[in-house]
Amino acid sequence: MKLNELSAGALKELLEAGTVSNCDVMAAVLDRIETVEESIGAFLTVRDRQALMREAEAVDRRRRKGERIGALAGLPVAVKDNICTEGVRTTCASKMLEFHVPPYDATVIARIKNADGIVLGKTNMDEFAMGSSTENSAFKITRNPHNLSYVPGGTSGGSAAAVAANETILAIGSDTGGSIRQPASFCGVVGLKPTYGRVSRFGLLAYGSSLDQIGTLTKTPADARLLLSVIAGHDPKDATSVGFKDGANAEPENLKPLKIGIPKEYFIQGVDSEVLACATRVTSVLRELGHEIIEITLPHTPYAVPTYYVIAAAEMSSNLARYDGCRYGYRSSSYASLRDMLVKTRTEGFGREVQRRILLGTFVLSAGYYDAYYEKAMKVRKLICSDFQEAFLQCDAIMTPVAPTPAFKIGEKTSDPLNMYLVDIFSVTANLAGLPGISIPFGHSSQGLPLSMQFLGRSGQEELLLQLSTDLWKASPE
């Protein structure tokens, strides 16, 4: 096996044993990027090779001296391009921020660097994290490494594709309505969305402030645990940050038998037959592992997608008001007045999907419609949260599909926004309720595309989900 194909855990053992060096690992990753990146398009920016090799050599030098090396051991980490990186372009895959270079690191980036992780580059995404396929980027389309005719999912499609194509060892993304778990599912990697507030959002360019959460895309559950242990923790720079006592870096233990709930609202007409068959196989394995499977109900699930898109669009409309051509970012080159400059800047700088959601968000917040849409959506959100609270009185974890289908073909849904939005039907509920969720690959479809299942847990119970995922990972057919 080539070094770039190994997990972070396996590489750490080799590095600590002195069998390989960080320079060897970095060279393997960069060589892989040079070989496949033109066809996959996972990255928007890859940092200079010489600079990356110098950073890898610096870790090797410290290791030879016997100095303490951080938890990430000098391994490469790819970063979604909506997370600020000092001195490295951060575009949100938008013309609006095409040349934006932040003067500071997001908290998660500072923690990765403090743990001796090396930021490899910035990955492609749907513009401003709006989409489900990474087709909405202003710069390129990212392709699924398992079949280049298919999407990698979105909006963290670049990070998921980079891990799946072995162009990086670790990656981080953001999840507002499934944007880590869905591309992880489509690309056959492990995608962890933490509890809202567990990971600092300082330095994340906001989409939906009450929904956004930074998380991990990795090759194994153990790697997800490792990366989460580095980026999680209270941050005084983020008012929504929450401190948890149960640190996610605990070593996995033998998991006691759990009650795992299967919500009947997630297994409905329209779900692909191979996704349902995957769920049946996973359920069988869970029973073999000693867990009890029970049916539960999450009755307000049918309202989740419209609720999510009202709330997310409203928050996004407010958050993106700052991109006006006055302070930073793109400004139209030709205008007759201040108003004309604002209109042209936002029309030229934002893509069609972003414009569509700005209009929707502004509408639902406008006088005369606020009560009918936004306020009603917030009330339904409370009901969805209550559904989960009731469900977790009956079970320890919940299993659902990540998406109704495996990856779909590039261009298949772009002309039908509503059809694209429905891809998120099984993932948005975790964001509305602020719960942790993880996508675990389990086999492939008849077309060779990855299949996955999602586990959801109570607030702060990432470790339980990671342990459950580890057991399922070991039982996976591939």
Q: 89-105 pLDDT, tens per residue?
A: 999 999 999 999 999 99
| pLDDT at position 246 | 46
Query: Could you give the angle at the alpha carbon of 360 between the alpha carbons of 411 and 364, nearest 5°?
Result: 150
Average pLDDT, the chain: 96
How far apart are alpha carbons 231 and 234 in whole angstroms? 10
What confidence score (pLDDT) does residue 475 get? Answer: 86
- At 342-392, the pLDDT tens digits run 999 999 999 999 999 999 999 999 999 999 999 999 999 999 999 999 999
Average pLDDT of span 448-469: 97
Averaged pLDDT for residues 61-85: 98
pLDDT in tens, 191-236: 999 999 999 999 999 999 999 999 999 999 999 999 999 999 999 9
Q: What is the mean pLDDT of residues 432-455?
A: 97
Other CB atoms closer than 10 Å to residue 462's CB: what's the count?
27
Q: What is the pLDDT of residues 326-349, one digit of tens each?
A: 988 999 999 999 999 999 999 999
CA distance 414 to 410: 8
CA of 16: how far to CAs of 113, 357, 360, in Å? 19, 49, 53
Instruction: Give the pLDDT band (50/70/90) at residue 478.
Output: low
Domains of the chain by start residue, with CATH:
1-256+399-478 (3.90.1300.10)
DSSP 396: S
* 242 has a pLDDT exceeding 70: yes
Residue 441 has pLDDT above 50, yes or no: yes
- Do residues 105 and 85 make contact, with C-beta atoms less than 8 angstroms apart? yes
